[in-house]
Amino acid sequence: MRFDWTDLRIFLHVCEAGSMTAAAARCHLTLAAVSARIRSLEASTGVVLLERQARGVAPTPAGEVLAAHARVVFDQLLRLQRDLQDAGGRLPEAAVVLANSSALARPLPDAVAQVQAVHGTPIVVRESESQATVQALRLGAAEVGIVSDAVDTGGLVAEDLGPDPLVLVVPRAHALAGRPAVSFRESLGHPWVALGEQSALSAHLQLRALALGQRIDARVSYPTLDGALRLVGSGRGVTVLPGAVVPEPPAAAGWACIALDEAWAQRRLLVCRGPGGGPLRTALVQRISRCWRGERDRPASPTADPLDDDSQPTERL
């Protein structure tokens, strides 16, 4: 039985997206081309890999087995490529860390600096929406990701970093000010200040609004947390931000925080990696976890990696 790498990648895209059409968009192919690739894969394996449903597709038990093995194979290929580069004396490729908007505003720089100082590997940090991060980790396109627990992390090794609820920030003189909690739908009836037009959080909130059949009326989009808060305080609109990164408003501040009355807003952050191990991935997960909890560095023995730790994250398989 022979497998085509492109077919396997397309199959994983279909499994992640739950839709042939969505997978075609991700792969920059036509729907007909994706469908033909899947049929070819099913013909070569002799089993049905996808169950066609009214609103998309889902992997059959055989499809789940193929997807699990394909993820391992792509992870091994990535490791093989890096080992060959090291053996040939070439500069190592950068390790990729993906993080949502909230994680970027928290102690991630400290964790990255400490790991890079010990391991020497170049590290690239990119902002990414949680669902896209999970997909990248499964395909071996990133070493570590920080995501909301609202996404499915099945097949990844994940460790809880703690609560990260979203809150509604409004001008102090706003009609919603003083309320104990407000629904997301109600907030959409007011002008907004968006935190970065292309930020992962803005993309997530736009999808939530579209699910309600509405759109966010962003009167201003600003790329920094401080700037967005000042714009809200000046009365330009409301916004939703991670509560953990919103400072306690001083008495003179023109804005106030209100609880967001949505189950999906009561989220937690997870640090995740693919099922393959490796010292760099392990070090990143451990150091990110320590920095989040504000732990002091443990004294290291002269021969030990100062990032070694006996604690192990939970594997969600």
Q: Tell me what pLDDT residue 241 has.
A: 93
- Residues 168-221: pLDDT tens digits? 999 999 999 989 999 999 999 999 999 887 777 888 888 888 889 898 999 999
Q: Are strands 123-127 and 95-99 parallel, antiparallel or unpaired?
A: parallel
Angstrom distance (rounded) from CA 24 to CA 47: 22
Residue 150, judged by CB atoms within 10 A of its CB (0-12, 13-18, 19+), counts as: middle
Q: Which residue has the tokens 């089993």?
A: 47
DSSP structure string for 211-276? HTT----EEEEESSHHHHHHHHHTTS-BEEEEGGGSPPPPTT-SEEEEEE--GGGS-EEEEEE-S-
Tell me the one-letter amino acid at 197: E
Domains, the chain, ranges and CATH?
5-68 (1.10.10.10), 94-163+269-316 (3.40.190.10), 166-265 (3.40.190.10)
Q: Which residue has the tokens 């020497």?
A: 120
Contact (CB, 8 A) for 165 and 265: yes
Tell me the one-letter amino acid at 128: S
DSSP 32: H
Question: Left if phi > 0, otherwise alpha if psi is -120 to 50, otherwise beta: which for 117?
Answer: alpha
- Residues 22-53: pLDDT tens digits? 888 877 778 888 888 898 888 888 889 998 88
Say which residues have a Cβ less than 8 Å from residue 103's Cβ, sequence separation at least 6: 146, 269
Helix, strand, coil tally for the chain in percent (to 5): 40, 20, 35
Tell me the one-letter amino acid at 186: E
Tell me the one-letter amino acid at 125: V
Say which residues have a Cβ less than 8 Å from residue 304's Cβ, sequence separation at least 6: none
Contact (CB, 8 A) for 28 and 22: no
Q: What is the mean pLDDT of the chain?
A: 83
Average pLDDT rounded to a whole number, residues 7-27: 84
Angstrom distance (rounded) from CA 280 to CA 305: 11
- The angle formed by the CA atoms of residues 79, 69 and 38, to the nearest 5 degrees, is 115
Average pLDDT rounded to a whole number, residues 116-145: 87
Angstrom distance (rounded) from CA 122 to CA 191: 42
CA distances from 294 to 96, 106, 116, 289 (A): 23, 11, 19, 9
| Residue that wins the pLDDT comparison between 189 and 88 | 189
| Residue that wins the pLDDT comparison between 92 and 26 | 26
Q: Are strands 166-171 and 181-182 parallel, antiparallel or unpaired?
A: unpaired
DSSP structure string for 55-107? TEEEE-HHHHHHHHHHHHHHHHHHHHHHHHHHHTTPPPPPEEEEE-HHHHTTT
- Residues 281-312: pLDDT tens digits? 899 999 999 998 874 344 444 334 444 443 44
Q: Tell me what pLDDT residue 174 has.
A: 94
